[in-house]
Amino acid sequence: MIVEVGHYALALALALSLMQAVLPFWGARTHDARLMAVARPAAMTQFAFVALSYAALTYAHVVSDFSLVNVVENSASAKPLIYKISGVWGNHEGSMMLWVLILAACGAAMAAFSRAIPPRLLADALSVQGVLGAAFLAFILLTSNPFARMVPAPIDGHDLNPILQDPGLAIHPPLLYLGYVGFSIVFSLAAAALIGGRLDAAFARFIRPWTLAAWCFLTLGIAMGSYWAYYTLGWGGFWFWDPVENASLMPWLAGTALLHSAAVMEKREALKVWTIFLAIVTFSLSLLGTFLVRSGVLTSVHSFASDPTRGLFILAILVMFIGGALFLFMLRASSLKQGGLFAPISRESALVVNNLLLTAACAAVLVGTLYPLALESINGDKISVGAPFFNLTFGPLFAPLLLLAPLGQLLAWKRGDLLAAAQRLFVAAGLGLAAMAVFAALHGAPVMSVVGSGLAVYLIVGAFVEIVGRIFPSGFGAAKNAVFRARGLPLSAWGTAFAHAGLGLSMLGIAASGWGVEKIVAMKQGDVYDVGPYQIEVVGVMNKPGPNYQSTIAYMSVKQDGHVVALLAPSKRFFSTRRMGTAQAGIVTLNLGQIYVSIAEPNPNGAIDARLYWKPLVSLIWIGALVMAFGGLLSLSDRRLRVGVARRAVKTQIAAQAAE
Amino acid sequence: MIWLVFALLTGAAVLSVLWPLARPAPKAREDAADVAFYRDQIAEIDAEFERGGLDREQAEAAKALAGRRLLAVAPEEAAAGSSPKARRIAAGLALVAIPALGLGLYQKIGHPDLPDMPLEARMKAPPAQQDFAAVVARMEAHIKAHPDDARALELMAPVYLRMGRFDDAVNARKKIIELRGETPQNLVDYAEALAYAGDGAITPDAEAQLQRALKLDPKNPGARFYLGLGAAQNGDKDKARKIWSELLPDLQGDAAAQQEVKAKLALLDAPAEPGAAQGAPPSGQAAAIASAAPEAQQKMIRTMVERLAQRLAAQGGGVDEWLRLIRAYKVLNEPEKAQNSYDQALKALAGDTGSREKLVASAKDMGLRTP
């Protein structure tokens, strides 16, 4: 009964989402407060029903109810409990359920925590959220129903794809979806502002927490996905410019731009229309990502199953929302009130440059992702756009961004002094150059790694220059009241510093990958290999059964100067249900770098092919992402209103105001 | 019970829409957020000034700017209560549309009569209520734990045959012989399993088993029957006829078996039809037809053909099944029906070029109108 109750709850959620779409919208048009008030309870009940349905599906997976096609195809009775729970979203239908669950949760959260939002804006936003919910619920119920039954029920299932039987599955998709779908709130609010034709001064403040939260989740989700690919694919790469990865990078780039332009809007009332545009673009790119991954256009570990009707349905959703929102933007954008003037050299301008670079980088990724697909669909040619393309396009756009980030932090609002700001960066630049010299002496070529690491150090140091300047306004000598001033600084300032520094840390980790050491060997027990500054000794090889797989484990010890510093146990697993193998890399972190070993099946002569890597500073890539998200969290926890006060030239400011 | 839960859920969904419609209208002004925003801004500037982040001149200028913007906020009244008419329409919509949509959609895709089937409950249910798959799984688990339990294997072997898991049946029969030794019956069962696994053909391996059974028991009817079938399959009609004719008198008292053998004998004399009874293991239906009187025979064949036609029209089928139907109509001297079936088949196989070509070629041979 639980299963069918969950199924019915999903159908009811669809009906409710349609009510949520229609009634508040009608109320907002006729200024009817009661009709608008329907939005809040409808959003919350819709969430309750979707959650009930999701719980029912999880129940079916946990108790191995093989009368559900979805459970048969993606589960097995011997699968460990954690993968029975996370396996719910480890397939097409279930992952769409997770998507809708988070969408409904976002709608309910907006309904619960947005008391300050003007009623008409909220009604329209929740109405848009209702349309989104209806579209995806209909998609699930009509083309991807996880509650489809199978009678007579088989006695066991086909098991989950072994690559997905990993703790990464429990973490990566929920984080990523919270990021993707979190931007739906921003999208709905932007669409509502366009529908209502009224752009409140407080708009940026309304979208700030949602943008920040979604951005933090997306950052963590992408980092987690990258780390998962790194340790599971067995050759130590952490980013492949794979279309599915690009699909998550694009909303991140657009979302980062949105974060910055929303800051300008909140503090200075400038870039209003641009912010609205970015809000639409960011979620549109999330939808595009969903389309690319879920439609079967791409084949990858993410796409599970391809079915043309699903692809068409998602394409229709995509066209409806992106097209509809952009059309609305075209109609209404010109009527929105622009505000806030600023000089060419100012914090605002720096953020405009940031936005232009980010959106251009995003466009480069978009082209690199879609062009091969378009080409293939037109003349059937399969071309691969890989790292060389992105290094040539994305790289040159992102590098100046890193250079400018600390500078932008130091420019004053409205009008700034470029020279003064640059002077304050002397220390950061000096340390960056010093880092280059040190890294060049220690590791040498490649040049890109040396330049990249110097840039990264400059960015990390530069991120804190502004804060340090505010804590010690008259030099380090006057340390009096420094602690008081540090605590008085808004958390958002700390957040900016940490987020920028996190980006620098990730950069440093990426740059250092050029100094890695790689060895491919056929190893036997007792062999010793030199890998970077360490020696790896093969202690023994063993076979061991797991709950639903057989594994071959190679035990190794890592030595430095004759002392054992770490143990490694890379393994190869074989899953009999799917007749598939997976590699579990052996990884150990030493001095921020990692020793990474992955093994293949044993050869007939008993030797095992293995790849051994030493990757200096590689863990910084993900530590950097954690620091970035921490920065976002700091900023998120700062509920104060943000004011950007012009600091100089009061006389000209009055002239500028007269012009407003 | 489940309908009660459905009713409660539907009620909750409808109420969540009706409730705000019934309550007094909230009175929030549309411009309140902007006013609050600038007030906060002014307060924040003051606070920043207190902390020493701004000098007096900057703070005053910024406050003046915020003040001017506050004055410029476009005033917008709170939304009016609501018209009773709109409320009635909205309430009506919720009352009708939510149950109609929810139930209507669920009606199409749901299975309210299907209970949950958690694996553990299925395995633990009393044997009488257990579903087939669960019993099989339990038996298999038992056999895995006790690979030498010949009795369990003997129970499972025919089940495997019925489930179409012929290789498993072969393995089970082989194991039974290992455990229990070679008896005529064991050997014949093994040969039978081999024949099923070989798509109905009496393979050399199966024939060897049958010969051994015959050595132990020269009169064994099963072994003789299958050896006859093997001879027929090899085209040695005389040998088959001899084996089966000698078998008949030994089957006194087993009418069904007698009929089966008679049917086989009849088929030996009938003109060969490709893919028909010769290659396949004995079928009860063919035997029944063969033994019926000519008139009844015609009628039975007609019913069978009609049944095939109905099944193909309802569920579709492969090109061979369609051809069998068309050929049957030709044989029954009903050219119209043959032509109709051919046209239907063309439509049904529209997507499959290979099958269509085969269909058209065969139809030409039978003299049907082809496009």
Contacts of A63 (CB under 8 A, 6+ apart): B116, B118, B119, B120, B121
Distance CA A536, CA A560 (A): 9
Q: What residues of chain B lie within 8 A of the CB of A642, using their CB?
A: 44
pLDDT tens per residue, range A182-236: 999 999 999 999 998 878 778 888 888 999 999 999 999 999 999 988 888 777 7
Across the interface, do B44 and A643 touch by the CB < 8 Å criterion?
yes
Q: Give the whole-angstrom CA distance, residue A92 versus residue A82.
A: 18
Once rounded to an integer, what is the mean pLDDT over residues A395-409?
A: 88
Least confident stretch, A7-11, A143-147, A617-621, B159-163 = B159-163
Residue A24 reports pLDDT greater than 60: yes
**CA-based nearest distance B41→chain A, Å:** 7
Structure confidence at residue A160 (pLDDT):
84
Q: Do A23 and B17 touch (CB under 8 A)?
A: yes
Chain position carrying tokens 């579903």: B131
Confidence of residue A153 (pLDDT cuts 50, 70, 90): confident
Question: For residues B228 and B241, what is the distance between their CA atoms, to the nearest angstrom?
Answer: 7
In this structure, the number of other CB atoms found within 10 A of the CB of residue A596 comes to 26
Quick count: other Cβ atoms within 10 Å of Cβ A231?
19
User: What single letter denotes the amino acid at residue A482?
Assistant: A
pLDDT on residue A652:
42
Higher pLDDT, A342 or A132: A132
Q: Is B13 in contact with A650 (Cβ distance < 8 A)? A: no
- A19 and B97 within 8 Å at the Cβ level: the answer is yes
As to burial, measured by CB atoms within 10 angstroms (0-12 exposed, 13-18 middle, 19+ buried), residue B144 is exposed
- Say what the pLDDT of residue A301 is: 54
What residues of chain B lie within 8 A of the CB of A18, using their CB? 97, 101
Q: What is the pLDDT of residue A657?
A: 43
> Given an 8 Å threshold on Cβ–Cβ distance, is B61 in contact with A653?
yes
- A443-492 confidence digits (pLDDT tens): 777 878 888 888 999 999 888 888 888 888 776 666 667 777 778 788 88
Neighbours of B75 (CB within 10 A): 9
**Percentage of chain A with pLDDT > 70?**
93
pLDDT of A377 over the 60 cut? yes
A299: exposed, middle or buried (Cβ count in 10 Å: 0-12, 13-18, 19+): exposed
How far apart are the C-alpha atoms of A469 and A499, rounded to whole Å? 18
Q: Which residues in chain B (321-350) have CB-CB distances under 8 A to chain A?
A: none
Residue A578 lies in a domain: yes
Percent of chain B with pLDDT over 70: 87
Domain containing residue A549: 517-615
Poorest-pLDDT segment among A9-13, A122-126, A648-652, B61-65: A648-652
Name the residue among A556, A622, A625, A619 with its Cα closest to residue A589.
A619
* CA separation, residue A381 to residues A296, A373, A377, A464, B203 (Å): 18, 9, 8, 49, 49
For residue B324, count other CB atoms closer than 10 A to its CB: 17
Phi, psi of B363 (to 5 degrees): -60, -40
Structure-block tokens of residue A472: 């010690």
Check residue A109 and give its pLDDT.
Answer: 94
- Measured in angstroms, the CA of B225 and the nearest CA of chain A are apart by 36
Judged against a pLDDT cut of 90, whether residue A11 lies above it is answered with: yes
Contacts of A23 in chain B (CB under 8 A): 17, 90, 93-94
Pick the residue of B119, B135, B156, B162 with the most A CBs within 10 A to test the interface with A by mutation: B119
Comparison of pLDDT for A460 and B72, the residue scoring more = A460
Out of B12, B13, B133, closest to residue A153 by CB: B133
Question: Rounded mean pLDDT of chain B?
Answer: 80
In the structure encoding, which two tokens stand for residue A458, read together? 């400059």
Contact B347, B322 (CB under 8 A): no
Higher pLDDT, residue B222 or A25: A25
Report the pLDDT value the prediction gives residue A298, as an integer from 0 to 100: 64
Q: Does B132 touch chain A (CB under 8 A)?
A: yes
> Would you tell me which residues 65-84 of chain B have a C-beta closer than 8 angstroms to some C-beta of chain A?
65, 68-69, 73-74, 76, 78-83
**Structural tokens at position B145:** 């734990």
Q: Is residue A210 part of a domain?
A: no
* Rg (chain B; Cα; Å): 40
What pLDDT shows up at residue A387?
A: 80
Cβ(A121)–Cβ(A194) below 8 Å: no
pLDDT of residue B79: 62
B37: which chain A residues are within 8 Å (Cβ-Cβ)?
Answer: 200-202, 205, 641
Which residues from A are below 8 Å from B122, CB to CB? 153, 155
Q: A165, A184, A202: which is the final residue of a domain?
A: A165
Give the mean model confidence (pLDDT) for residues A356-366.
91
Inter-chain CB proximity A12 and B9 less than 8 Å: yes
The string of pLDDT tens digits covering residues B116-133 is: 888 888 878 776 777 777
Mean pLDDT of B322-326: 83
What's the pLDDT tens digit per position in B265-310?
Answer: 887 776 554 444 444 444 445 545 544 555 666 666 777 777 778 7
| Residue of B32 and A629 predicted with greater confidence | A629
Average pLDDT along chain A: 86
pLDDT score recorded for residue A563: 87
pLDDT, position B371: 63
- Give the span between the Cα atoms of A358 and A352, in whole angstroms: 10
Q: Does B112 touch chain A (CB under 8 A)?
A: yes
- Mean pLDDT along residues B183-197: 88
Residue-level pLDDT at A97: 95
- A18–B101 CB contact, under 8 Å: yes
Under the banding of pLDDT at 50, 70 and 90, the label for residue A497 is very high
For B204, the 3-state DSSP assignment is: helix
Instruction: State how many domains chain A has.
Output: 2
Contact A120 B74 (CB under 8 A): no
CB contact under 8 A, A64 and B38: no
Q: What is the pLDDT of residues A526-576, one digit of tens each?
A: 888 888 888 888 888 888 888 888 888 889 999 888 888 889 888 888 887
B54 contact residues in A (CB cutoff 8 A): 645
Q: Count Cβ–Cβ pairs < 8 Å, chain A vs chain B.
A: 238
The answer to whether A446 touches A514, Cβ cutoff 8 Å, is yes
C-alpha angle B23/B27/B32, rounded to 5°? 150
Q: Evaluate whether residue A601 is within a structural domain.
A: yes
CB contact under 8 A, B106 and A7: yes
Res B338: pLDDT: 85
Out of A19, A202, A488, whose CB is closest to B33?
A202
Helix H or strand E segment including A568: strand A563-568
Task: List the single residue in B with minimal CA-CA distance to A20.
Answer: B17
**Per-residue tokens: B152:** 């369990």
In 3D space, the residue among A131, A122, A255 whose CA is nearest the CA of residue A182 turns out to be A255
Quick one: pLDDT at residue A10?
A: 95
Q: Which residue from B12, B83, B109 is facing A141, i.e. has the nearest CB?
A: B109
Using a CB-CB cut-off of 8 Å, the residues of chain A touching B131 are 152-153
Among A251, A254, A260, A225, which Cα is nearest to A239's?
A225
Closest CA to B228 of B262, B256, B197, B198: B262
By Cβ distance, the residue of B21, B105, B137 closest to A14 is B105
pLDDT at B336 (0 to 100): 82
Sequence ranges of the domains in chain B = 2-24+32-74+83-109, 295-365
B93/A120 Cβ within 8 A: no
- Tens of pLDDT, residues A67-120: 899 999 888 888 889 999 999 998 889 999 999 999 999 999 999 987 778 888
Least confident of A149-163, A610-624, B206-220: A149-163
Does the distance separating the beta carbons of B122 and A643 come in below 8 Å?
Answer: no
- Looking at residue A612, the DSSP 8-state letter turns out to be E
Closest listed residue to residue B208, CA positions, set B221, B195, B199:
B195
**Residue A438 pLDDT grade (very low, low, confident, very high; cuts 50, 70, 90):** confident
Please report the pLDDT score of residue A581 as a whole number.
82
With 0-12 / 13-18 / 19 or more C-beta atoms within 10 angstroms meaning exposed / middle / buried, residue A416 is buried
pLDDT of residue A340: 67
Looking at per-residue pLDDT, the higher value among A310 and B225 belongs to B225
Whole-number pLDDT of residue B81: 63
CB atoms within 10 A of CB B234: 13
Interface with chain A: mutation pick from B4, B6, B15, B16, highest number of A CBs within 10 Å: B16
Are residues B118 and A65, on separate chains, in Cβ contact within 8 Å?
Answer: yes
In this prediction, residue A651 carries a pLDDT of: 41
Domain for residue A555, yes or no?
yes
Is residue A27, in this structure, part of any structural domain at all?
A: yes
Q: In this structure, what token pair is assigned to residue B144?
A: 């895995």
Question: Residue A656 pLDDT more than 80?
Answer: no
Q: Which residues of A touch B118 (CB under 8 A)?
A: 63-65
Query: Domain for residue A215, yes or no?
Result: no
The CATH code for residues B295-365 is 1.25.40
* For range B29-37, the mean pLDDT: 76
Tokens of A392: 């040539």
